[in-house]
């Protein structure tokens, strides 16, 4: 059994144990599918409703940093941002205004980062999450160069803050990008950004299984005009926007 097969089997066992103790949660769908042997039917994705998202709010960004033990060192070029907000200016029609847009890893279905990685440290899992195996990564940063969304940040320095003792501090010398709070997902909990946005009553971020036609995310996509960023590149992003 090679390392990847071992990790896959370990993951399946873990899903089994989560199902036993945590089924009435976000992972309910995943657990049911897993029990039925249909784990590959999962495709996690996200919808961000820019009509709901508050322009100057950064609750989700702060919650993400706290959950994932991200320290800001005050060096704009080298700080890690798993989720960030940028102001996008619409060029046409002229003077049609600006929008602040949350950006994160799009968990592309056709991820150039994974294709570029020479040691398969970056890969797309069966459930669609694009992830970095920090132990396998050699720090070459080809994935960062290949990502057209600037979604990866190299962890130049060890994080000094350890705000969340339930989650390890990342080793420095590897690229970081959003992993859909994989550690929380495994426990059947909501992603930090999703939970924080709900906590303040806005609910601009929806996460769920794109392959389940009855999931909230699938209904949102079916009933709204949604766009992903630079779909023309063929990367097939799985983060969609309402109101972009
Ligand atoms: S957004 Fe960038 S880092 Fe994320 S999957 Fe796509 S190419 Fe890879
Ligand atoms: S930095 Fe790590 S994950 Fe990125 S391409 Fe190099 S080995 Fe792969």
- Predicted structure pTM score: 0.84
The predicted structure's pLDDT at residue 159: 73
Q: Is 128 in the pocket of ligand 1 (CB under 6 A)?
A: no
Q: What is the pLDDT along the chain (244 residues), one digit of tens a residue?
A: 444 443 344 444 333 333 332 333 445 445 444 444 345 699 999 999 999 999 889 999 999 999 999 988 888 888 999 999 999 887 777 777 888 999 999 999 999 999 999 999 999 999 999 999 999 999 999 999 999 999 999 999 877 778 898 888 877 899 999 999 999 999 999 999 999 999 999 999 999 999 999 999 999 999 999 999 999 999 999 999 999 8
Report residue 221 CA to chain centroid gap: 18
The predicted structure's pLDDT at residue 15: 38
Element (H, E) at 99: strand 98-104
Place of tokens 């968990």: 107
Closest CA to 127 of 243, 27, 233: 27
Residue 90: other Cβ atoms inside 10 A: 12
Do 52 and 141 contact (CB within 8 A), yes or no?
no
Residue 130 Cα to ligand 1 midpoint, Å, equals 7
Q: Is 153 in the pocket of ligand 1 (CB under 6 A)?
A: no
Element (H, E) at 209: strand 205-209
- Domains of the chain (ranges plus CATH)? 44-242 (3.30.70.20)
Residue 56 Cα to ligand 2 midpoint, Å, equals 34
Do 152 and 113 contact (CB within 8 A), yes or no?
yes
Interacting residues of 14 by C-beta distance below 8 A, sequence separation 6+ = 186
């Amino acid at each position: 059994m090679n390392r990847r097969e071992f990790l896959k089997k370990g993951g399946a066992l873990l899903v089994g144990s989560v199902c036993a103790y945590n089924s009435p949660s976000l992972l309910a769908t995943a657990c049911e599918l897993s029990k039925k042997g249909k784990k590959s039917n999962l495709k996690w994705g996200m919808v961000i409703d820019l009509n709901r998202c508050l322009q100057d709010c950064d609750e989700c960004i702060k919650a993400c940093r706290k959950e994932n033990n991200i320290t800001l060192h005050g060096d704009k070029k080298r700080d890690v941002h798993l989720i960030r907000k940028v102001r996008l200016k619409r060029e046409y029609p002229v003077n049609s205004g600006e929008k602040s847009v949350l950006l994160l890893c799009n968990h592309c279905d056709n991820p150039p980062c994974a294709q570029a990685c020479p040691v398969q440290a970056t890969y797309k899992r069966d459930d669609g999450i694009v992830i970095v195996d920090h132990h396998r990564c050699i720090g070459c940063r080809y994935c960062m160069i290949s990502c057209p969304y600037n979604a990866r940040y190299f962890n130049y320095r060890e994080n000094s803050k350890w705000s969340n003792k339930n989650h390890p501090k990342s080793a420095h010398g590897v690229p970081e990008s959003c992993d859909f709070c994989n550690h929380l997902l495994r426990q059947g909990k909501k992603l930090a950004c999703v939970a924080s946005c709900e906590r303040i009553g806005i609910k601009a971020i929806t996460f769920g299984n794109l392959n389940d036609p009855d999931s909230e995310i699938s209904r949102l996509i079916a009933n709204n005009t949604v766009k992903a960023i630079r779909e023309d590149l063929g990367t097939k992003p799985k983060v969609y926007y309402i109101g972009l």
